[in-house]
Every structure is written in structure tokens, then in C-alpha cells.
Amino acid sequence: LIFYYLDFCRRNIIILRDRLIGFIDFRYTGFFPCFFEIISLEYLNPYNPNYTGLFKAAAI
């Protein structure tokens, strides 16, 4: 099992002066099987296929 954040979207990422500061909103975090994050991207963030496509391409 792997700890996943599972809610990657712009509103949950804090960036200051072109530097990542952190993530907020941990309601979808937990320990899941390694394939769970790729499958869940379509259901947790279905409104931006270009954004979720980047994660899928990186996982392959």
C-alpha cells in the first residue's frame, strides 16, 4: 500500500513565487494499492482531461 494525496487540482496547491509550498484539502488521502491513483484521476477530477492526461502519461 502507498500513501496517496488523490486531489491534485489547482485550488489545492499552494505556490509562492514560482515555488511549491504545499498541498491543502486532505479529504481524499489514504493508503491505497499502487494502481489506485491512476484509475481515480478520472473520477476525482473529470473536468480537465488535459490535466489528468499528464498524470496518466507519467505513470506509463
Of 55, 13, 25, whose CA–CA distance to 38 is shortest? Answer: 55
- Please report which confidence band the pLDDT of residue 20 belongs to, taking 50, 70 and 90 as the band edges: confident
Q: What percent of the chain has pLDDT over 70?
A: 67
Using DSSP's 3-state secondary structure scheme, residue 20 falls into strand
Q: Encode pLDDT of 43-57 as tens digits.
A: 666 666 665 565 566
| Residue-level pLDDT at 31 | 93
Residue type, 31: F
Count structural domains, the chain.
1
Asked if 41 contacts 55 with a C-beta cutoff of 8 angstroms, the reply is yes
Give me the domain span that covers residue 23. 2-59
| Residue 21 grid cell | 509550498
Report which of residues 35 and 55 the model is more confident about.
35
Report pTM: 0.48
| Residue-level pLDDT at 56 | 60
| Residue-level pLDDT at 7 | 77
